[in-house]
Structure 1
Amino acid sequence: MRRLAAALYEVALTFWVGGLWAIGYLAAPTLFATLAHDRPLAGALAGRLFELMGWVGLACGSYLLLFSLLRFGAISFKRWNFWLILLMLLLTAVSLFGIQPLLAQIKADALPREVMESVLRNRFATWHGVSSILYLVQSVLGLLLVGSTLRGGAR
């Protein structure tokens, strides 16, 4: 059972961090390049992918924290992997439950115009920038976590 739990740790970590990089740095830019003639559609599709990745992050991050707590107990709080996972999980929650709904509301308030053609353009751009920075931080933290795990940090 211990091996299965450790294997699931590695799968969850791979799925979460790999998904962050695949969606954020491959799929989303490809959508915007391919659908250059329809940026609102590209944005809607990318937004949905980021939302799904947020739910994946919540599930995987929760498992990773639980695994660490059950495996190492109170020592988990002294391990920097635990704090990386917790920070990534918090950033995921802020994005999923704070920033993404805010961006959706700004888009809705801009109707019937597209948000980038409305007076809300600057507000949307600012929050989109904040979201992008948080995503980049999550992605880099994920790489640090993977590197640490490859060196035996989760075992």
Structure 2
Amino acid sequence: MKLHVLAVASALAATLTFAGYVGAQQSGSVSALRNAAIDETNAIDDVYHQDEGRAPRNYRQQPPIIPHSSDQYQIDLRTNQCLTCHDWTTAGDRGAPTLSMTHYLDRNGTQLDTVAGTRWFCNQCHVPQADAPALIGNTFKPSSN
């Protein structure tokens, strides 16, 4: 009985392997990721830069945009590297903007000495500034009030 099951399994595996090979052959040519021949220089898109300083806000209560890269910043349950510059205890020495006092209020409105857990993950609201083309059209106009 075991020999029969093994023979059926082997025949099925061989059939699927052959079908996969035939499908791969019929799928067409593989396209390269390069947009030039291997011996030519590959053209790349422009690298976008970030402007220094604060970006204007488009509506009331808009979280400020981060004017620097934060790719290498560690933000997890134990560590928040944003606070090394922006916490109220260090912002003056570092020349960085201090966090809003709302970041030091818990959900009951109690004033805390440290950043509230509900405000711990900065990149929930704040995003790094990027001078990149828009992915889709945008007709947004900021409020004049």
TM-score where L is the length of structure 2: 0.26
Q: 1 or 2 for the larger relative contact order (CA 8 Å, sep ≥6)?
A: 1
Choose between structure 1 and 2: higher helix proportion.
Answer: 1
